[in-house]
Amino acid sequence: MMPAVHDVDVAPMDTERLAPFLRPDRAEEFRMLAETGRRRFGGRTVWNVSSTAAGGGVAEMLHRLVRYTKGAGVDSRWVVIDGSPEFFAITKRIHNRLHGETGDDGPLGEDERRVFQEVIADNAKPLLDQVRPEDVVLVHDPQPVGLLPLLRDRGVVAVWRCHVGTETTNECTDDAWAFLRPWVDTAAAAVFSRAEYVPDWIPETRARIIAPAIDPLSAKNAPLDDDAVLAILGRAGILDHSGDGAVFADSDDRERTADLEAQVRRVGGPLSPDVPVLLQVSRWDRLKDMAGVLRAFVDAALGAETGAHLLLVGPDVSGVTDDPEGKQVLDECVAMWEQLPSETRATASLVSLPMDDLDQNAAIVNALQRHAAVVAQKSLREGFGLTVAEAMWKGRPVVGSAVGGIQDQVRDGVDGLLIADPHDLGAFASAARTLLTDPPAAQRMGAAAHERVRDNFLADRDLAQWGTLLADLGVGG
Protein backbone atom coordinates (compact mmCIF):
# COMPACT_ATOMS: atom_id res chain seq x y z
CA MET A 1 0.00 0.00 0.00
CA MET A 2 1.35 3.40 -0.95
CA PRO A 3 1.21 6.14 1.70
CA ALA A 4 -1.64 8.63 1.43
CA VAL A 5 -2.76 11.58 3.49
CA HIS A 6 -5.84 11.10 5.62
CA ASP A 7 -8.19 13.57 7.26
CA VAL A 8 -8.45 14.21 10.99
CA ASP A 9 -12.05 14.81 11.96
CA VAL A 10 -12.38 17.89 14.17
CA ALA A 11 -15.74 19.29 15.26
CA PRO A 12 -16.07 23.09 15.26
CA MET A 13 -16.13 25.00 18.55
CA ASP A 14 -18.12 28.24 18.77
CA THR A 15 -15.54 30.95 19.43
CA GLU A 16 -17.95 32.61 21.85
CA ARG A 17 -17.41 29.68 24.21
CA LEU A 18 -13.87 30.92 24.83
CA ALA A 19 -14.94 34.41 25.91
CA PRO A 20 -15.66 33.63 29.62
CA PHE A 21 -12.06 32.54 30.11
CA LEU A 22 -10.65 35.81 28.74
CA ARG A 23 -10.39 39.25 30.23
CA PRO A 24 -13.24 41.45 28.89
CA ASP A 25 -11.09 43.47 26.49
CA ARG A 26 -9.53 40.31 25.07
CA ALA A 27 -12.94 38.70 24.66
CA GLU A 28 -14.16 41.61 22.56
CA GLU A 29 -11.00 41.55 20.44
CA PHE A 30 -11.53 37.83 19.86
CA ARG A 31 -15.08 38.44 18.65
CA MET A 32 -13.77 40.97 16.15
CA LEU A 33 -11.06 38.51 15.06
CA ALA A 34 -13.66 35.85 14.28
CA GLU A 35 -15.72 38.30 12.23
CA THR A 36 -12.65 39.45 10.29
CA GLY A 37 -11.65 35.84 9.64
CA ARG A 38 -15.03 35.01 8.14
CA ARG A 39 -14.70 37.88 5.69
CA ARG A 40 -11.03 37.40 4.84
CA PHE A 41 -11.11 33.63 4.31
CA GLY A 42 -14.51 33.30 2.70
CA GLY A 43 -14.30 30.79 -0.16
CA ARG A 44 -10.88 29.54 0.95
CA THR A 45 -9.79 26.49 2.89
CA VAL A 46 -7.05 26.72 5.50
CA TRP A 47 -5.22 23.37 5.48
CA ASN A 48 -2.94 21.98 8.19
CA VAL A 49 -0.54 19.11 7.42
CA SER A 50 1.28 17.11 10.09
CA SER A 51 2.65 13.62 10.65
CA THR A 52 0.43 12.42 13.50
CA ALA A 53 -2.99 13.13 14.96
CA ALA A 54 -2.03 12.10 18.49
CA GLY A 55 0.76 11.74 20.98
CA GLY A 56 2.19 15.22 21.48
CA GLY A 57 1.73 18.95 21.80
CA VAL A 58 1.68 19.60 18.06
CA ALA A 59 -1.37 17.40 17.55
CA GLU A 60 -3.13 19.10 20.47
CA MET A 61 -2.35 22.56 19.13
CA LEU A 62 -3.65 21.60 15.71
CA HIS A 63 -6.88 20.27 17.14
CA ARG A 64 -7.42 23.59 18.90
CA LEU A 65 -6.44 25.69 15.87
CA VAL A 66 -8.76 23.79 13.55
CA ARG A 67 -11.79 23.67 15.83
CA TYR A 68 -11.79 27.40 16.59
CA THR A 69 -11.10 28.29 12.97
CA LYS A 70 -14.09 26.19 11.98
CA GLY A 71 -16.10 27.70 14.81
CA ALA A 72 -15.39 31.15 13.41
CA GLY A 73 -16.99 30.09 10.12
CA VAL A 74 -13.74 29.50 8.21
CA ASP A 75 -13.35 26.27 6.23
CA SER A 76 -10.43 24.47 7.84
CA ARG A 77 -9.02 20.96 7.39
CA TRP A 78 -6.27 18.90 8.95
CA VAL A 79 -4.58 16.03 7.14
CA VAL A 80 -1.86 13.63 8.30
CA ILE A 81 0.78 12.13 6.05
CA ASP A 82 1.78 8.48 6.14
CA GLY A 83 5.31 7.18 6.01
CA SER A 84 7.52 4.15 6.37
CA PRO A 85 9.44 3.22 9.54
CA GLU A 86 12.62 4.27 7.73
CA PHE A 87 11.10 7.69 7.01
CA PHE A 88 10.14 8.24 10.64
CA ALA A 89 13.57 7.11 11.82
CA ILE A 90 15.04 9.85 9.62
CA THR A 91 12.61 12.51 10.84
CA LYS A 92 13.29 11.55 14.46
CA ARG A 93 16.99 11.98 13.68
CA ILE A 94 16.23 15.46 12.34
CA HIS A 95 14.11 16.24 15.42
CA ASN A 96 16.97 15.35 17.76
CA ARG A 97 19.52 17.33 15.78
CA LEU A 98 17.34 20.42 15.64
CA HIS A 99 17.62 20.25 19.44
CA GLY A 100 21.41 20.01 19.16
CA GLU A 101 21.55 16.28 19.98
CA THR A 102 23.04 13.47 17.86
CA GLY A 103 20.11 11.09 18.36
CA ASP A 104 20.81 7.73 16.73
CA ASP A 105 23.99 9.12 15.12
CA GLY A 106 22.79 8.08 11.68
CA PRO A 107 23.51 10.02 8.47
CA LEU A 108 21.48 12.73 6.77
CA GLY A 109 22.78 12.31 3.25
CA GLU A 110 21.56 11.59 -0.25
CA ASP A 111 20.11 8.18 0.63
CA GLU A 112 18.02 9.74 3.41
CA ARG A 113 16.94 12.55 1.11
CA ARG A 114 15.79 9.96 -1.43
CA VAL A 115 13.67 8.16 1.19
CA PHE A 116 12.27 11.50 2.30
CA GLN A 117 11.35 12.59 -1.21
CA GLU A 118 9.75 9.25 -2.10
CA VAL A 119 7.42 9.41 0.91
CA ILE A 120 6.56 13.04 0.21
CA ALA A 121 5.84 12.28 -3.44
CA ASP A 122 3.45 9.48 -2.48
CA ASN A 123 1.61 11.77 -0.06
CA ALA A 124 1.61 14.82 -2.32
CA LYS A 125 -0.77 13.61 -5.03
CA PRO A 126 -3.87 13.06 -2.86
CA LEU A 127 -3.27 16.42 -1.18
CA LEU A 128 -2.60 18.40 -4.35
CA ASP A 129 -5.72 16.90 -5.93
CA GLN A 130 -7.74 18.73 -3.27
CA VAL A 131 -5.89 21.98 -2.56
CA ARG A 132 -6.84 24.98 -4.71
CA PRO A 133 -4.55 27.92 -5.57
CA GLU A 134 -6.61 30.29 -3.42
CA ASP A 135 -6.24 28.07 -0.34
CA VAL A 136 -3.64 28.35 2.42
CA VAL A 137 -1.56 25.41 3.69
CA LEU A 138 0.22 25.36 7.05
CA VAL A 139 2.89 22.63 7.03
CA HIS A 140 3.92 21.54 10.52
CA ASP A 141 7.43 20.38 11.47
CA PRO A 142 10.08 18.53 9.43
CA GLN A 143 8.08 15.44 8.44
CA PRO A 144 5.91 17.07 5.70
CA VAL A 145 8.33 19.92 4.85
CA GLY A 146 8.97 18.43 1.39
CA LEU A 147 5.45 19.45 0.37
CA LEU A 148 6.38 23.14 0.41
CA PRO A 149 7.92 23.48 -3.09
CA LEU A 150 5.13 21.40 -4.63
CA LEU A 151 2.53 23.69 -3.10
CA ARG A 152 4.44 26.81 -4.15
CA ASP A 153 4.59 25.56 -7.73
CA ARG A 154 0.79 25.25 -7.66
CA GLY A 155 0.51 28.91 -6.63
CA VAL A 156 -0.60 28.07 -3.08
CA VAL A 157 0.47 30.18 -0.10
CA ALA A 158 2.30 27.61 2.04
CA VAL A 159 3.72 28.43 5.49
CA TRP A 160 6.10 26.21 7.43
CA ARG A 161 5.57 25.96 11.20
CA CYS A 162 8.58 24.61 13.12
CA HIS A 163 7.65 23.55 16.65
CA VAL A 164 11.18 22.59 17.77
CA GLY A 165 14.53 24.27 18.14
CA THR A 166 17.38 25.24 20.41
CA GLU A 167 19.04 28.50 21.43
CA THR A 168 22.55 27.39 20.46
CA THR A 169 23.95 25.90 17.28
CA ASN A 170 26.44 23.09 16.81
CA GLU A 171 27.30 20.47 14.20
CA CYS A 172 24.05 18.64 14.90
CA THR A 173 21.84 21.66 14.25
CA ASP A 174 23.90 22.61 11.20
CA ASP A 175 23.46 19.08 9.84
CA ALA A 176 19.68 19.15 10.29
CA TRP A 177 19.23 22.61 8.80
CA ALA A 178 21.42 21.76 5.81
CA PHE A 179 19.13 18.81 5.13
CA LEU A 180 15.93 20.85 5.49
CA ARG A 181 16.96 24.16 3.96
CA PRO A 182 16.18 23.42 0.26
CA TRP A 183 12.54 22.85 1.24
CA VAL A 184 12.25 25.53 3.92
CA ASP A 185 13.56 28.15 1.49
CA THR A 186 10.41 27.69 -0.62
CA ALA A 187 7.96 28.57 2.18
CA ALA A 188 6.09 31.87 2.00
CA ALA A 189 6.96 32.30 5.67
CA ALA A 190 8.52 30.25 8.46
CA VAL A 191 7.00 30.36 11.95
CA PHE A 192 8.91 29.51 15.13
CA SER A 193 8.06 29.37 18.83
CA ARG A 194 11.00 31.54 19.87
CA ALA A 195 13.18 34.10 18.09
CA GLU A 196 16.28 32.19 19.22
CA TYR A 197 15.23 29.21 17.08
CA VAL A 198 15.29 31.04 13.74
CA PRO A 199 18.30 30.03 11.59
CA ASP A 200 20.39 33.01 10.52
CA TRP A 201 19.86 32.22 6.84
CA ILE A 202 16.10 32.87 7.00
CA PRO A 203 15.46 36.54 6.16
CA GLU A 204 13.80 38.54 8.91
CA THR A 205 10.96 39.39 6.53
CA ARG A 206 10.07 35.67 6.18
CA ALA A 207 10.31 34.69 9.85
CA ARG A 208 7.56 35.03 12.44
CA ILE A 209 7.39 34.18 16.12
CA ILE A 210 4.15 32.65 17.41
CA ALA A 211 4.38 31.00 20.81
CA PRO A 212 2.03 28.04 21.32
CA ALA A 213 -1.11 28.32 23.44
CA ILE A 214 -3.60 26.04 25.16
CA ASP A 215 -7.33 25.53 24.76
CA PRO A 216 -9.15 25.94 28.10
CA LEU A 217 -12.14 24.05 26.66
CA SER A 218 -10.28 20.93 25.56
CA ALA A 219 -10.72 17.69 27.44
CA LYS A 220 -7.21 18.17 28.80
CA ASN A 221 -7.83 21.64 30.23
CA ALA A 222 -11.58 22.00 30.85
CA PRO A 223 -12.75 22.47 34.45
CA LEU A 224 -13.04 19.34 36.60
CA ASP A 225 -14.28 19.37 40.18
CA ASP A 226 -12.38 17.51 42.90
CA ASP A 227 -14.78 14.56 42.90
CA ALA A 228 -14.41 14.06 39.14
CA VAL A 229 -10.60 14.26 39.42
CA LEU A 230 -10.50 11.49 42.03
CA ALA A 231 -13.05 9.38 40.15
CA ILE A 232 -11.21 9.60 36.82
CA LEU A 233 -7.90 8.66 38.44
CA GLY A 234 -9.60 5.87 40.37
CA ARG A 235 -11.17 4.46 37.21
CA ALA A 236 -7.75 4.61 35.52
CA GLY A 237 -6.23 2.55 38.35
CA ILE A 238 -3.87 5.34 39.45
CA LEU A 239 -5.56 6.36 42.73
CA ASP A 240 -7.38 4.30 45.33
CA HIS A 241 -10.93 5.46 44.58
CA SER A 242 -14.15 3.80 43.52
CA GLY A 243 -14.25 5.60 40.18
CA ASP A 244 -17.89 6.62 40.61
CA GLY A 245 -18.59 9.96 38.94
CA ALA A 246 -15.71 9.87 36.42
CA VAL A 247 -17.46 12.34 34.13
CA PHE A 248 -15.80 14.82 31.77
CA ALA A 249 -16.58 16.87 28.66
CA ASP A 250 -14.93 15.55 25.48
CA SER A 251 -13.58 17.56 22.55
CA ASP A 252 -17.07 17.81 21.06
CA ASP A 253 -18.40 19.10 24.40
CA ARG A 254 -20.31 15.89 25.08
CA GLU A 255 -20.55 14.53 28.60
CA ARG A 256 -18.79 11.19 28.87
CA THR A 257 -17.71 8.74 31.53
CA ALA A 258 -14.06 7.74 31.70
CA ASP A 259 -13.50 4.00 31.69
CA LEU A 260 -9.96 3.54 30.34
CA GLU A 261 -7.44 1.84 32.58
CA ALA A 262 -3.82 2.93 32.49
CA GLN A 263 -0.88 0.57 32.63
CA VAL A 264 0.70 1.36 36.00
CA ARG A 265 4.04 -0.04 37.11
CA ARG A 266 4.07 0.24 40.90
CA VAL A 267 4.65 -1.58 44.16
CA GLY A 268 1.42 -2.36 45.95
CA GLY A 269 -2.07 -1.18 45.10
CA PRO A 270 -3.38 2.17 43.85
CA LEU A 271 -2.05 5.32 45.50
CA SER A 272 -3.97 6.94 48.36
CA PRO A 273 -5.51 10.29 47.33
CA ASP A 274 -3.94 11.83 50.45
CA VAL A 275 -0.36 11.27 49.26
CA PRO A 276 1.15 14.42 47.67
CA VAL A 277 2.22 13.82 44.07
CA LEU A 278 5.18 15.10 42.08
CA LEU A 279 4.14 14.62 38.45
CA GLN A 280 5.81 14.76 35.08
CA VAL A 281 3.70 14.13 31.97
CA SER A 282 5.49 13.91 28.65
CA ARG A 283 6.34 11.68 25.73
CA TRP A 284 8.86 8.92 26.37
CA ASP A 285 11.60 10.99 24.78
CA ARG A 286 15.20 11.22 26.02
CA LEU A 287 15.06 15.00 25.75
CA LYS A 288 12.21 15.04 28.31
CA ASP A 289 14.57 13.20 30.71
CA MET A 290 12.02 11.08 32.53
CA ALA A 291 14.91 8.90 33.70
CA GLY A 292 16.61 11.96 35.17
CA VAL A 293 13.49 12.86 37.14
CA LEU A 294 13.33 9.34 38.56
CA ARG A 295 17.03 9.33 39.45
CA ALA A 296 16.83 12.76 41.12
CA PHE A 297 13.76 11.75 43.14
CA VAL A 298 15.22 8.49 44.44
CA ASP A 299 18.80 9.73 44.97
CA ALA A 300 17.49 12.55 47.18
CA ALA A 301 15.09 10.15 48.93
CA LEU A 302 12.29 12.67 48.37
CA GLY A 303 9.66 9.99 48.91
CA ALA A 304 10.89 9.14 52.38
CA GLU A 305 11.69 12.75 53.29
CA THR A 306 8.52 14.48 52.08
CA GLY A 307 6.00 11.63 51.94
CA ALA A 308 5.46 12.41 48.26
CA HIS A 309 5.02 9.94 45.40
CA LEU A 310 6.51 10.41 41.94
CA LEU A 311 4.30 9.75 38.93
CA LEU A 312 6.05 9.60 35.56
CA VAL A 313 3.32 9.54 32.93
CA GLY A 314 3.57 9.10 29.18
CA PRO A 315 1.58 7.67 26.29
CA ASP A 316 1.27 4.00 25.40
CA VAL A 317 4.18 3.92 22.96
CA SER A 318 2.31 1.73 20.48
CA GLY A 319 -0.07 4.63 19.86
CA VAL A 320 2.58 7.20 18.82
CA THR A 321 3.47 6.35 15.24
CA ASP A 322 6.03 9.08 14.46
CA ASP A 323 8.37 8.51 17.45
CA PRO A 324 10.30 5.24 16.99
CA GLU A 325 12.46 5.87 20.09
CA GLY A 326 9.55 5.91 22.53
CA LYS A 327 9.59 2.22 23.41
CA GLN A 328 13.32 2.19 23.94
CA VAL A 329 13.16 5.16 26.34
CA LEU A 330 10.26 3.64 28.26
CA ASP A 331 12.09 0.31 28.53
CA GLU A 332 15.13 2.10 29.93
CA CYS A 333 13.01 3.84 32.57
CA VAL A 334 11.34 0.55 33.51
CA ALA A 335 14.73 -1.17 33.85
CA MET A 336 15.99 1.62 36.12
CA TRP A 337 12.83 1.45 38.25
CA GLU A 338 12.99 -2.33 38.58
CA GLN A 339 16.56 -2.15 39.88
CA LEU A 340 15.59 0.10 42.79
CA PRO A 341 15.24 -1.35 46.30
CA SER A 342 11.62 -2.31 46.92
CA GLU A 343 11.05 0.38 49.57
CA THR A 344 12.35 3.05 47.17
CA ARG A 345 10.51 1.61 44.20
CA ALA A 346 7.28 1.96 46.22
CA THR A 347 7.64 5.77 46.15
CA ALA A 348 7.49 6.05 42.35
CA SER A 349 5.22 4.77 39.58
CA LEU A 350 5.56 4.62 35.80
CA VAL A 351 2.26 5.14 34.01
CA SER A 352 1.43 4.56 30.34
CA LEU A 353 -1.87 6.03 29.15
CA PRO A 354 -3.90 4.35 26.38
CA MET A 355 -4.08 6.23 23.08
CA ASP A 356 -7.09 4.51 21.53
CA ASP A 357 -9.47 7.15 22.96
CA LEU A 358 -7.75 10.53 22.85
CA ASP A 359 -10.45 12.36 24.80
CA GLN A 360 -10.21 9.91 27.68
CA ASN A 361 -6.43 10.11 27.54
CA ALA A 362 -6.70 13.90 27.80
CA ALA A 363 -9.17 13.70 30.67
CA ILE A 364 -6.78 11.50 32.65
CA VAL A 365 -3.94 13.98 32.07
CA ASN A 366 -6.26 16.81 33.12
CA ALA A 367 -7.11 14.97 36.34
CA LEU A 368 -3.46 14.13 37.02
CA GLN A 369 -2.33 17.74 36.65
CA ARG A 370 -5.14 18.98 38.90
CA HIS A 371 -4.36 16.35 41.54
CA ALA A 372 -0.60 16.92 41.61
CA ALA A 373 0.98 19.00 44.34
CA VAL A 374 3.86 19.97 42.05
CA VAL A 375 4.38 19.44 38.31
CA ALA A 376 7.84 18.89 36.82
CA GLN A 377 9.19 19.43 33.34
CA LYS A 378 12.89 18.59 33.57
CA SER A 379 13.58 18.63 29.85
CA LEU A 380 17.14 18.67 28.59
CA ARG A 381 15.92 20.51 25.50
CA GLU A 382 12.45 21.84 24.84
CA GLY A 383 10.83 23.54 21.89
CA PHE A 384 8.13 25.08 24.05
CA GLY A 385 6.59 22.59 26.47
CA LEU A 386 2.80 22.95 26.49
CA THR A 387 2.53 20.64 29.49
CA VAL A 388 3.95 23.56 31.49
CA ALA A 389 1.17 25.95 30.47
CA GLU A 390 -1.40 23.20 31.05
CA ALA A 391 -0.23 22.67 34.62
CA MET A 392 0.01 26.39 35.29
CA TRP A 393 -3.55 26.88 34.04
CA LYS A 394 -4.67 24.42 36.71
CA GLY A 395 -2.96 26.47 39.41
CA ARG A 396 0.00 24.16 39.87
CA PRO A 397 3.57 25.37 40.51
CA VAL A 398 6.13 24.01 38.08
CA VAL A 399 9.69 22.85 38.65
CA GLY A 400 11.27 23.12 35.24
CA SER A 401 14.54 23.40 33.38
CA ALA A 402 15.47 26.88 32.19
CA VAL A 403 15.59 25.73 28.58
CA GLY A 404 13.57 26.57 25.48
CA GLY A 405 10.02 27.76 25.95
CA ILE A 406 9.85 26.62 29.58
CA GLN A 407 11.71 29.77 30.61
CA ASP A 408 9.24 31.86 28.59
CA GLN A 409 6.36 30.48 30.64
CA VAL A 410 7.64 30.08 34.20
CA ARG A 411 8.92 33.14 36.08
CA ASP A 412 11.44 31.78 38.56
CA GLY A 413 10.17 32.22 42.09
CA VAL A 414 6.81 33.55 40.87
CA ASP A 415 5.06 30.73 39.00
CA GLY A 416 7.45 27.97 40.05
CA LEU A 417 11.17 27.26 40.19
CA LEU A 418 13.62 27.00 37.29
CA ILE A 419 16.80 24.91 37.21
CA ALA A 420 19.66 26.60 35.36
CA ASP A 421 21.37 23.32 34.45
CA PRO A 422 18.92 20.61 33.43
CA HIS A 423 21.56 17.95 34.14
CA ASP A 424 21.89 19.04 37.80
CA LEU A 425 19.86 16.37 39.58
CA GLY A 426 20.61 17.83 43.00
CA ALA A 427 19.26 21.25 42.04
CA PHE A 428 16.11 19.68 40.65
CA ALA A 429 15.56 17.63 43.80
CA SER A 430 16.14 20.69 45.98
CA ALA A 431 13.58 22.75 44.05
CA ALA A 432 11.01 19.94 44.19
CA ARG A 433 11.65 19.55 47.94
CA THR A 434 11.10 23.29 48.47
CA LEU A 435 7.63 23.20 46.93
CA LEU A 436 6.60 19.85 48.38
CA THR A 437 7.44 20.98 51.93
CA ASP A 438 5.98 24.50 51.68
CA PRO A 439 2.35 24.17 50.54
CA PRO A 440 1.50 27.88 51.11
CA ALA A 441 4.36 28.94 48.80
CA ALA A 442 3.32 26.32 46.25
CA GLN A 443 -0.26 27.61 46.38
CA ARG A 444 0.86 31.23 45.85
CA MET A 445 2.97 30.26 42.87
CA GLY A 446 0.17 28.15 41.45
CA ALA A 447 -2.27 31.08 41.62
CA ALA A 448 0.25 33.35 39.88
CA ALA A 449 0.84 30.65 37.26
CA HIS A 450 -2.87 30.52 36.39
CA GLU A 451 -2.99 34.27 35.76
CA ARG A 452 0.22 34.09 33.75
CA VAL A 453 -1.40 31.64 31.34
CA ARG A 454 -4.62 33.60 31.18
CA ASP A 455 -2.72 36.69 30.05
CA ASN A 456 -0.24 35.07 27.67
CA PHE A 457 -0.95 31.50 26.59
CA LEU A 458 -4.63 31.07 25.74
CA ALA A 459 -5.95 30.30 22.27
CA ASP A 460 -7.14 33.80 21.35
CA ARG A 461 -3.60 35.19 21.29
CA ASP A 462 -1.99 32.83 18.80
CA LEU A 463 -5.09 32.73 16.59
CA ALA A 464 -4.82 36.52 16.28
CA GLN A 465 -1.13 36.22 15.37
CA TRP A 466 -1.90 33.66 12.68
CA GLY A 467 -4.56 35.98 11.27
CA THR A 468 -2.08 38.85 11.13
CA LEU A 469 0.55 36.71 9.39
CA LEU A 470 -1.83 35.50 6.68
CA ALA A 471 -3.09 39.04 6.12
CA ASP A 472 0.52 40.21 5.69
CA LEU A 473 1.00 37.46 3.09
CA GLY A 474 -1.92 38.92 1.14
CA VAL A 475 -4.42 36.14 1.80
CA GLY A 476 -7.88 37.53 1.28
CA GLY A 477 -6.55 41.07 0.90
Total domains, the chain: 2
Q: Containing domain of residue 102, as a range?
A: 6-213+459-472
- To the nearest whole percent, how much of the chain has pLDDT over 70? 98
What CATH number is given to the structural domain containing 446? 3.40.50.2000
The DSSP element (H or E) to which 435 belongs, if any, is helix 425-436
How many angstroms separate the CA atoms of 450 and 195, rounded? 25
Entry pTM? 0.91
39 shares its domain with 125: yes
The amino acid occupying position 152 is R
**Are the CB atoms for 249 and 218 separated by under 8 Å?**
no
pLDDT tier at 1, thresholds 50, 70, 90: very low
- The per-residue DSSP string of 190-246 comes to EEESSGGGS-TTS-GGGEEE----B-TTSTTTS---HHHHHHHHHHTTSBSS--TT-
174 shares its domain with 125: yes
- To the nearest whole percent, how much of the chain has pLDDT over 90? 89
356 shares its domain with 443: yes
Which among 263, 237, 235, 261 is positioned nearest to 247, based on CA atoms?
235
151 shares its domain with 300: no
pLDDT of 22 over the 80 cut: yes
Stretch 159-179: mean pLDDT: 95
Stretch 262-281: mean pLDDT: 96
For strands 6-7 and 75-80, give the pairing: antiparallel
140 shares its domain with 68: yes
143 shares its domain with 279: no
Decide: helix, strand or coil at residue 400.
Answer: strand
Q: What are 210-230's pLDDT values in tens digits?
A: 999 999 999 999 999 999 999
Please compute Rg for the chain using Cα positions. Answer: 22
pLDDT for the residue numbered 269:
86
Stretch 54-79: mean pLDDT: 91
171 shares its domain with 40: yes
91 shares its domain with 131: yes
pLDDT for the residue numbered 226:
96
Q: Which 8-state DSSP code applies to residue 458?
A: B
**Are the CB atoms for 200 and 192 separated by under 8 Å?**
no
End-to-end CA distance of the chain: 42
How many angstroms separate the CA atoms of 80 and 62, rounded? 11
355 shares its domain with 207: no
Q: What are 378-437's pLDDT values in tens digits?
A: 999 998 999 999 999 999 999 999 999 999 999 999 999 999 999 999 999 999 999 999
Range in 41-55, 66-80, 171-185 the model is least confident about: 41-55
193 shares its domain with 289: no
**Are the CB atoms for 98 and 332 separated by under 8 Å?**
no
- The per-residue DSSP string of 263-307 comes to EEE-SSSSBPTTS-EEEEE--S-GGG-HHHHHHHHHHTTHHHHH-
Q: What are 408-424's pLDDT values in tens digits?
A: 999 999 999 999 999 99
